[in-house]
Amino acid sequence: MSSLQIADREFDSRLIVGSGRFPDPETMREALRASGTEMVTVALRRANLNTDEGENVLKYLQDDGYFLLPNTAGCYTAEEAITTAKLGREALGTNWVKLEVIGDDETLFPDVPELLKAAEKLILEDFVVLPYANDDPITCRKLADMGCAAVMPLGAPIGSGMGIRNPYNLRIIKDLVDVPVIVDAGVGTASDAAIAMELGMDAVLMNSAISQAKHPVKMAEAMKKSIEAGRLALESGRMPKRLYAKASSPEEGLIEVDREEQ
């Protein structure tokens, strides 16, 4: 499977995983290992990096060697998101940011005007911006044109597990932009991830699909395999769809049979 290139970094895994909502830190660590991910997101405003047991989740992630991607989850204005991104740069020593600017608590859909405003300002301050966006081709094209390192359209609402609800828009987005397209949010099971990859997406970001599974470590392994299978299928080139049947065995050289004698 080919590698994933985002800005100046290259990743062997096309699966990005969030670090929140796991039952405990050890389950998180085992699931992340099973997923094969190299990049892990950290929600600076929402995630409690210190558990009740006093175990430092951030230290675990750093010790395990993951590339940490701070995100601005929980921000509702461009200014909140910009401030949080700067805090992430100070805390984690990276200018990368997964940019989220949420419109409301019900849908957790992005606030597009605020998102565009925040992205533009952060790019001017030399951030590598990966914005969480609606599955809207025009919004994604604007984000890519202004200099975002990737665009991250939702597959379905955050935490819904509804899968890929609008594959046609995702394909249009992929055609319109020249940066990686990463499906972010909505994946519920392994087949959803495979579908995203078969559609031509460059990667998939997920959290709840793994952390909220009955067996997170097993689901993480399933997601790893589904990402690999979906990408391999895309690179292989599927057979064309046909309305009518076509025999899989050769039709030339068939043994002559007199049907009237049967």
Q: For the sheet with 15-18, list strands across it.
A: 152-153, 128-133, 96-99, 67-71, 39-43, 15-18, 203-206, 182-184
**2 among annotated binding-site residues:** no
Domains of the chain: 11-236 (3.20.20.70)
Task: At 106, list the tokens.
Answer: 């019900």
Per-residue DSSP letter, 254: P
CA-based torsion, 44, 212, 16, 183: positive or negative: negative
Distance of CA 195 to the CA centre of its chain: 12
Q: Which of 98, 142, 174, 224 is catalytic?
A: 98
Quote the pLDDT of residue 52: 43
Q: Which residues, other chains included, contact 1 with Cβ-Cβ below 8 Å and sequence gap of 6+?
A: 12, 14, 228, 231, 232, 235
**186 among annotated binding-site residues:** yes
241 catalytic? Reply is no
* Residue 52, CA atoms < 13 Å, CB-side half-sphere: 2
Task: At 172, list the tokens.
Answer: 């249009």
- CA pair distance 159, 56, nearest whole angstrom: 24
Quote the pLDDT of residue 254: 64
**47 among annotated binding-site residues:** no
Q: What is the torsion angle, in degrees rounded to the nearest 10, for the CA atoms of residue 104, residue 105, residue 106 and residue 110?
A: 40
C-alpha distances (whole Å) from 247 to each of 250, 253, 257, 258, 259 are 7, 14, 18, 21, 20
Residue 71 has pLDDT above 90, yes or no: yes
Task: At 3, list the tokens.
Answer: 């590698």
Overall average pLDDT of the 236-248 stretch: 89
For helices 112-124 and 78-92, give the axis angle rounded to 10 degrees: 40
Per-residue DSSP letter, 103: S
94-112 per-position pLDDT tens digit: 999 999 999 998 899 999 9
Per-residue DSSP letter, 4: E
**253 among annotated binding-site residues:** no
Tell me how many degrees the CA angle 145-177-137 measures, rounded to the nearest 5: 90
114-166 per-position pLDDT tens digit: 999 999 999 999 999 999 999 999 999 999 999 999 999 999 999 999 999 99
175-218 per-position pLDDT tens digit: 999 999 999 999 999 999 999 999 999 999 999 999 999 999 99
**248 among annotated binding-site residues:** no
Tell me how many degrees the CA angle 32-195-156 measures, rounded to the nearest 5: 75
Task: At 137, list the tokens.
Answer: 């081709």
